[in-house]
Structure 1
Amino acid sequence: MALEIHPSSTRLTGDNRGKGGTPGKRRLKAEAGAGDKPPLTLFFALPKNKVSCLFVATPSGTIVAASSTPSPPPPRRRVDFLVFTLLAALALAAYAGTFSAPFVGDDEGAILENPTLRGPLWRALLPPPGGLTTSGRPIANLSLALNHAVSGEAVWSYHTLNLLIHLLAACTLYAVLRRTLASPRLAARFGGAARPLAATIAALWLLHPVQTEAVTYVCQRTESLAGLWILLALYAFIRATTSAQPVRWHALTVGAALAGVGTKEIAVALPPLLLLYDRTFVASSLAAAWRARRGLHLALFATWLPLLALVATTGWNRGGTAGFDVTVAPTAYWLTQPQALTHYLRLIVWPHPLVFDHGTFWGSVRAAAPYAALIVPLLGLTLHGLWRGTAAGFLGAWCLLILAPTSLVPGTIQMIVEHRLYLPLAALLTLLVTGAYAALGRRSLFVWPAVALALGGLTLARNATYRSAQTLWEDTVARAPANARARYNLGLVYSAAGRPADAVAQGEAALRLADPRSYAAKAHALHNKLGFDLMQLGRTPEAIAHYETALRLRPDYALAHLNLARALSAERRFAAAVPHYEAALTLAETRVAVESELALALFQAGRLPEALAHAQAVVTQAPRSVPAYCNLGYLLLSAHRPAAAAAAFRRALELDPADAAARRGAALATGER
C-alpha cells in the first residue's frame, strides 16, 4: 500500500531509544489521520538520521513495508556556489572602473602620510593617535599596511581588497539571510523561497550606489570591513545555535567581534544585536536567550573593554572631531540627526543625488521638527516590534544600533555621511524585499532583477566621479555649493593643477561660507591656502595679509610662517622675514630648504656671520647638495674668505662638474686669491 503523510496533519513523538533501548538510534512515532478515519501509526528507526526500517500499523493489522535511506537532498551547495559566482560577477561589473581611482580626501592622512604602514607589519597594530581615519583602529590600519606591502602607494591593490571585502560581506549577508528565512520562526512564510529572497537582497545590497563611498573611497574601508566582521559574527552565531558542537562557532563569533572592535567603533552594536537576534529568532524571550547562551553573550559584551581602550588612544574625541568634549554642544548635533536619518531612508529608494561630503550644518528644534515627525513614529514602531519580538522590530533595531554611535556622539565635521548607511542598508532592504514577498508572493521576485540592474547602472555612473580628485570635488561643490570644506579641497586640486585664479575663487568662497562653530579649528588653514594662491597670481600684499591672519589664529602654524617669510622676502623685507624663517625651522620635512632660505635672508638683512653659520649647518645636513655648497661659497666670498670659498666650490664641482654656478664661483674665488 502507499501512504502519504502531510506535515499539516502529522504528529511526531519519540525518544532516543531504539529497539530494546539500543543507544545511538531514535524511535519516532508518526500519527496521521483525517476526519473520522482511524489514524495510521508509523514507527521509524533512525540510526544516524537514516531510515533503516518502516512499520505501518492500522487498526486492522500491521503491514510491514521495506524501506531504504531517503533520496539525497537537492544540490543546495551548488545553488549557493552559483549565487556567490553571480554576486562576484555583478561586483566586478559595477566596480571594474575603480581600480585606478586616486587617493582622495582622508586617504592622504590615513595612507600617504601614515608612517605605521611602512616597515614591519606589527607596527600597523599601533596606528597614529588623534583623528585620522585609522586612529584607534588597528585592524583597519593593518589591512592598509598589507596593501602597502604589496603595491606601495599604487592604488590598484587597495581597490582590489576593498572590492573583495564588499563581495565577502555580500556573500555572508546571503548566508545569514538564507538561514534566518529558513529558520523555524520564519519558515512557514519564507522558507520555501529563502534562497531566492536572500540572493535578491544580497544582490541589491551589493549593487546599491550608496555603497560606493564605503568601497571606492579607500580609507572608508573601515566601514565595509567592520560591516564584514559584524556579518561574520552573526553568521557564526546562527551556526552555533544549530550545531551539535557549538564551541568552535562561539569562538568564531567572539573572534569576529574583536576584529570588528579593532576596525571601527560601530562594532559596539554587535553584542546587543546578537542578543536581540537570539531573542527574536532562536529563544522565546530575552531571559531564555540569556539562560541558554549566557557565557557567549557575556564574552561579546566584554569586547567593549578593548573598544574603550582603543577609543582612549584617540584622546576620547578622535583628535577633537567627535566626542562629548568637543567645541559643539551635543544638542546642536543631535538636532541635525533627524534630517540625516530621513536622508538615509530616502537614499534607499531614490539614491540620487549622492554627495561625497555634505559639509557642516547645525540644527534647531524648528528645522528638525518636520524630519522628527517621520523618524519618531518609526522609532516607536521599532520599539513596539522589539517588545513583541517581531522580525521587523529586529531589523529596525539593526539599523538603529549600527547608526547609534555616529548619531549620538557629537561630531564637528560632517552631520550626514552616506557610507554610514553601509550595513543598515542590509536591514532596510531585507524589510522591503520580504515585505513585498509577503504581500505579493513569488510574483514580487520577478521585479527585483530589473531593480538590481538599474542600481548597478547608477553605481557605474557614481564610480565615474572618483576617476580624479578634480571630478569628485567639482561634483561635490555642484551638489553642495554651501560646503566650505568641499570648496577648500577643490581649491587644493586647482592649485596642484596650476590654476591659481580658480583656486582663489574657491578659497574666497570657503572663507565666506565657513560655519562659525567649526571655523575656529580650520580658519588658519583656509587663510594660509588663500595666501598661497594669491602669491601665485602676484598679489603679494593680499597674500601677506592672509598669512598674518592665519598666524593670529594659530601662532605656531609653521607652514604659514614659512609662506609669510617667502612673501616678505619677495617684497625685499628681509629683516621682517627672518623671524618667520626661524619659526618655520620646526618643519622637519623641509628644514634644509628653510635653513638655506634663512641664510640668504640673513645675508640680505646684513647679518653675514649668522648667515654663514646657517649655510654651514645646511652643508652638514645635506653633504651632497650642490646648491648648498654654492650658497656657502658665495657667502664666504662676501666675507672675504676666498680660500674657504674655493674649497666649497671645489666640493660642488666634485659632485657635479657641469654646474655653472659652481664654475663661476670657483673662478671668482681663484681670481680673488
Structure 2
Amino acid sequence: MSTPSTPYARSGLPIWGVGLIIVGATAVAYHNSFGVPFIFDDDLSIRDNPTIRSLATAWVPPGQSGLTVSGRPLLNFTLALNYAVGGTAVWGYHLVNLLIHVAAGCTLFGIVRRTMEANRFTPSLAEARRGSENPPCNRDATWLALAVALLWTLHPLQTQAVTYIVQRAESLVSLMYLLTLWCFIRSIEPGAPKRWAVLAWVACLLGMAAKEVMVTAPVMVALYDRVFVAGSWTEVWRRRWRFHLALAATWLLLVWLVMTTGGRGGTAGFGGAMSPWGYALTQVGAVVRYLQLALWPQPLVFDYGKDLVPGWSAVWWQTLLLLPLLVASGWAAWRGRASGYLGVFFFAVLAPSSSFVPVVTQTMSEHRVYLALAAVVSLVVVALHAWLGRRSFLVLGALAVGLTTATVRRNHDYRTELAIWEDTVVKRPQNIRALSALAEIYQKAGRLDEARVLLEEAARVAPESVEVRNNLGNAWMKLGRWPEAIACFEAAHRLKPEEPDVLSNLGNALLQTGQVVEAIAHFELALRHKPDFPEPRYNLANTLAQLGRLAEAEPHYARYVQLKPDDPDARSNYGDVLLELGRGPQALAQFEAAIRLKPDRAELHNNLGVALARLGRAREAVPHFETALRLQPDFTGARQNLAQAQQALVR
C-alpha cells in the first residue's frame, strides 16, 4: 500500500475549498426545503412523540409502536435536540437534516479521495494488468472524489431522505456508515494513532442505534480491507482480527434494539400477512427501479404503497437483469476488483429492506437507496473519466447543474402536504394509501365530495381493504349521509369483526340514525377489544348520560378523562353527571379543570356558575356568569343565570 506524501498537490484544490463547494452547492439545491411542513409519519414521530419533549427520555423512544423512531434511539435523540431548541418549528429540523446530508457528502469525498490516492482504485482492468503505478484516475483523485460527492449530494433521488424530516433515519445511519469506513481508512495509514480505530467502532455503534441498515457495515469494512488493503482474507484476519471482531460486536446492540421493539411493532419481520416470497419478488422489481432512478431520476414518487407483485412472471426481465449483476459483483469482489466492491456495497446496503424480510409499511421507498446511490455514482464517475479523461469533468459539471435543478423542482413538490400527495396520486393512481391520505386532506379542507370520490376509487381498487371502507364511511358521515356510512362500516366490520375503530364509527353512525341500543352495543364491543380506546369510551358515556343512566356513565367519564386529561368538554360533561349524582366537590373540580384548559370559553364559566349556584354558593357563582357575559355578550342563558344568582344574594 502506498500513500502520497502530499495528497493535495496534484489537484491544487485545498480540502477547505472542497468543503465550501459541497456546502454551497447543496445549499442551493435545498434552499426551498426549509418551509416544507411535517408530512405523514412526521406527526407521529415528532408532533405526537412525548419522548422527544425531554433529553432525559429521548434515548428511550416509543418501543413497539412501529413508528419510524422505534428502536432507533440516536434518531430520536437528534429529534429531541431539535425540539429543545425550536419546538416544532420545521426550519430547524430541515437545517439539521441538511447538515447531516452535507456531512455525509463530505465523508464520502474523503473515502473516495483517500482510496484513489493510495492507488487502491484502478479505473479499468487494462490499467490493472499493466500495473500502472499512478493511473489517471488516481492523479485526479481529489477532483473525481469531489465529482462523486457532488453528484451524490445533489441527486434528486436523495430528497426523500433529506426533505422528508423523519427520514433523517436514513441519512443519519448513512453518515454513521460512511464515518465507520472513513475512520477505518484513516486508522490503517502509516503512523495513524489508535484513536481512528476507536472512532470507527464508536461510529459503528451509533449507527446501530440509528437504523437497521447499519447491520452490513462491519461486513463492508472487512470487505474493503480485503479488496483494497490486505489483498486476502488471511491477511485481513492476521493484521486486524481484533478490530473486525470489535466492529461485529456492535451487532449485539442492534439485536437488542430489534428485540425490544417486537419486530418494530409488527411492521417488519416474519409471521405477518405479507409472505417472504412475495416480498422478495417485489424487491427484484424495486431494486431495478432504484437503478433506473439513479441513472434517470424521473418520475420520483413519495409513496409506492404496500402492493406485492402477483408472481415471478411480473418481474422476469428484472430478475434476468439483476441476477447477473449480483453474481458479477460477487465474483469481481472475490477477485479484489474495486468495481466488485461497489457492486456488493450497493446490494449490501439495500439488503436489510430489499431482501426477503417483509417490511409491511411500504414495499418500496426511494429513501432506501440513499447510501446505495454512492456506489452507482462512483462507478459512473470513474467510467466517464476512464473513457473521456479530463474532458469528463465538463460532462460531470453539466450533470451536477442538471441534478441541482431537478432537486430544486422535486423539493417544490413537497411545499405542502396537499401538493406532495396530489403529486403521488397523479404518479401512482392505484395507490390506496395515497388516495386515502389525499382524501383526508380534502376532508380537512372541506372538500368533502372530492374526498369521497377518491375513497370510492380506493375501494374499487382494494375492495377487501378494511381501512378504505372505514375511511369511506367517515366521508359519508361528514356529508351527513348516514345510511351510506352505515353500509361502509358494516362492510368493514364483516371483513374484520374485531376492529375497534370500525366498531366505534359504526356505533356513531347508528346513534345518528336513532338506533341507540345498537350503538351502545357497538361501543361496548369496541372497548372489549381495546379497553383504552378513548373515542368509544366518551361516546358511550355521553349516550348513557343522555338516557339518564348516570351511574353507568360515570365510570366511563372517569376513565376517559384519565386517557384524555386535556379535553375540556369531557370534563364539563363529567362535572354535570357528578353534580346530578350528588357529588358536588368532585363536580366542581371537573368544571374548574375545564376552565383551566380553556379559560376563554364562556360556556365553561357558565357551567361552573350553575354548579356553584346549585350548591348554594351564589356569591361565588356571580363572577363566573359575569366572565361568561364578558366573553360572549349575547349569551342569554348566562344573563338569566346571573340575574337569578343576584336575586338569591338579595334574599
TM-score range, shorter chain: 0.7 to 0.9
The match for 2:625 is: 653
CA deviations over 1:137-185 (Å, ceiling 9, x no partner): 0001101111111111110100000001001111111111000011133
| Superposition map of 1:200-279 within 5 A | 200-279=147-226
C-alpha separation in 1, matches of 2:105 and 2:314: 37
The match for 1:162 is: 97
Asked if structure 2 preserves the Cα contact closer than 8 Å seen for 1:616 and 1:632, the reply is no
**What stretches of structure 2 of length at least 5 have no aligned partner?**
122-132, 556-573, 579-586, 596-601
Residues 650, 574 of structure 1: alpha-carbon distance in 2 compared, 3 angstrom cutoff: farther
C-alpha separation in 1, matches of 2:482 and 2:621: 34
The match for 1:327 is: 273
| Superposition map of 1:103-114 within 5 A | 103-114=38-49
The match for 1:342 is: 288
Residue 546 of structure 1 deviates from its aligned partner by 2.9
C-alpha separation in 2, matches of 1:241 and 1:612: 71
Residue 564 of structure 1 deviates from its aligned partner by 4.1
The match for 1:491 is: 439
| 1:125 is aligned to 2:52 | no
| 1:188 is aligned to 2:109 | no
C-alpha separation in 1, matches of 2:6 and 2:109: 27
The match for 2:303 is: 357
The match for 1:30 is: none
TM-score (ref. length: structure 2):
0.83
Residues 663, 611 of structure 1: alpha-carbon distance in 2 compared, 3 angstrom cutoff: farther
The match for 1:663 is: 639
| Superposition map of 1:496-515 within 5 A | 496-514=444-462
C-alpha separation in 1, matches of 2:551 and 2:26: 66
C-alpha separation in 1, matches of 2:506 and 2:643: 36
Residue 110 of structure 1 deviates from its aligned partner by 1.0
Number of corresponding residues: 592
Give the secondary structure class of the aligned counterpart of 1:656: helix
The match for 1:376 is: 323
CA deviations over 1:377-396 (Å, ceiling 9, x no partner): 11111111012110000000
Residue 663 of structure 1 deviates from its aligned partner by 3.4
| 1:616 is aligned to 2:577 | yes
| 1:288 is aligned to 2:222 | no
| Residue identity in the other structure for 1:507 | L
Residue 256 of structure 1 deviates from its aligned partner by 0.4
Residues 587, 666 of structure 1: alpha-carbon distance in 2 compared, 3 angstrom cutoff: farther
Asked if structure 1 preserves the Cα contact closer than 8 Å seen for 2:606 and 2:625, the reply is no
Residues 139, 153 of structure 1: alpha-carbon distance in 2 compared, 3 angstrom cutoff: same
C-alpha separation in 2, matches of 1:560 and 1:665: 42
Asked if structure 2 preserves the Cα contact closer than 8 Å seen for 1:630 and 1:648, the reply is no
C-alpha separation in 1, matches of 2:180 and 2:542: 63
CA deviations over 1:264-306 (Å, ceiling 9, x no partner): 1010110110011001111121110121111110001111111
Residues 307, 200 of structure 1: alpha-carbon distance in 2 compared, 3 angstrom cutoff: same
Give the secondary structure class of the aligned counterpart of 2:277: helix
Residues 291, 429 of structure 1: alpha-carbon distance in 2 compared, 3 angstrom cutoff: same
| 1:367 is aligned to 2:309 | no
Asked if structure 2 preserves the Cα contact closer than 8 Å seen for 1:612 and 1:632, the reply is no
C-alpha separation in 1, matches of 2:507 and 2:589: 23
Give the secondary structure class of the aligned counterpart of 1:498: coil
| Residue identity in the other structure for 2:468 | L
Residues 343, 620 of structure 1: alpha-carbon distance in 2 compared, 3 angstrom cutoff: same
| 1:176 is aligned to 2:124 | no
Residue 560 of structure 1 deviates from its aligned partner by 4.7
| Residue identity in the other structure for 1:147 | N
- Compare 576-585 and 355-364 and name the one that shifted more: 576-585
The match for 2:50 is: 115
The match for 1:304 is: 251
Asked if structure 2 preserves the Cα contact closer than 8 Å seen for 1:645 and 1:669, the reply is no
CA RMSD for the aligned pairs?
A: 3.3
Residues 530, 649 of structure 1: alpha-carbon distance in 2 compared, 3 angstrom cutoff: farther
| 1:444 is aligned to 2:392 | yes
- Compare 467-476 and 245-254 and name the one that shifted more: 245-254
C-alpha separation in 2, matches of 1:667 and 1:568: 41
The match for 2:76 is: 141
Asked if structure 2 preserves the Cα contact closer than 8 Å seen for 1:568 and 1:574, the reply is yes
Residues 663, 561 of structure 1: alpha-carbon distance in 2 compared, 3 angstrom cutoff: farther
Asked if structure 1 preserves the Cα contact closer than 8 Å seen for 2:425 and 2:434, the reply is yes
Residues 535, 506 of structure 1: alpha-carbon distance in 2 compared, 3 angstrom cutoff: same
C-alpha separation in 2, matches of 1:414 and 1:185: 38
Give the secondary structure class of the aligned counterpart of 1:122: coil
C-alpha separation in 1, matches of 2:554 and 2:372: 64
C-alpha separation in 2, matches of 1:611 and 1:226: 50
Residues 440, 643 of structure 1: alpha-carbon distance in 2 compared, 3 angstrom cutoff: closer
| Residue identity in the other structure for 2:267 | T
Asked if structure 2 preserves the Cα contact closer than 8 Å seen for 1:487 and 1:506, the reply is yes
C-alpha separation in 2, matches of 1:630 and 1:138: 47
Give the secondary structure class of the aligned counterpart of 1:292: helix
Give the secondary structure class of the aligned counterpart of 2:89: coil
Residues 458, 388 of structure 1: alpha-carbon distance in 2 compared, 3 angstrom cutoff: same
Correspondence for 2:477 among 501, 510, 535: 535
Residue 581 of structure 1 deviates from its aligned partner by 5.7
Residues 374, 580 of structure 1: alpha-carbon distance in 2 compared, 3 angstrom cutoff: same
The match for 1:80 is: 15
**What stretches of structure 1 of length at least 5 have no aligned partner?**
1-11, 13-48, 50-69
Residue 556 of structure 1 deviates from its aligned partner by 6.4
Residue 534 of structure 1 deviates from its aligned partner by 1.2
C-alpha separation in 1, matches of 2:291 and 2:92: 33
Q: Which of 1 and 2 has greater Rg?
A: 1
Residues 557, 311 of structure 1: alpha-carbon distance in 2 compared, 3 angstrom cutoff: same
Residues 542, 118 of structure 1: alpha-carbon distance in 2 compared, 3 angstrom cutoff: same
Asked if structure 2 preserves the Cα contact closer than 8 Å seen for 1:214 and 1:224, the reply is yes
- Compare 370-379 and 402-411 and name the one that shifted more: 402-411
- By relative contact order (CA 8 Å, sep 6+), the higher-ranking structure is 2
| Superposition map of 1:399-548 within 5 A | 399-408=346-355, 409-514=357-462, 519=465, 523=466, 525-548=467-490
C-alpha separation in 2, matches of 1:514 and 1:631: 48
Asked if structure 2 preserves the Cα contact closer than 8 Å seen for 1:535 and 1:567, the reply is yes
C-alpha separation in 1, matches of 2:176 and 2:15: 21
Residue 606 of structure 1 deviates from its aligned partner by 4.7
Residues 203, 515 of structure 1: alpha-carbon distance in 2 compared, 3 angstrom cutoff: farther
C-alpha separation in 2, matches of 1:599 and 1:368: 54
C-alpha separation in 1, matches of 2:459 and 2:317: 31
Give the secondary structure class of the aligned counterpart of 2:231: coil
Asked if structure 2 preserves the Cα contact closer than 8 Å seen for 1:619 and 1:628, the reply is no
The match for 1:5 is: none
Residue 554 of structure 1 deviates from its aligned partner by 5.7
Asked if structure 1 preserves the Cα contact closer than 8 Å seen for 2:68 and 2:166, the reply is yes
Asked if structure 1 preserves the Cα contact closer than 8 Å seen for 2:111 and 2:181, the reply is yes
| Residue identity in the other structure for 1:107 | D
C-alpha separation in 1, matches of 2:516 and 2:588: 22
The match for 1:27 is: none
Which is richer in strand? 1
Asked if structure 1 preserves the Cα contact closer than 8 Å seen for 2:606 and 2:628, the reply is no
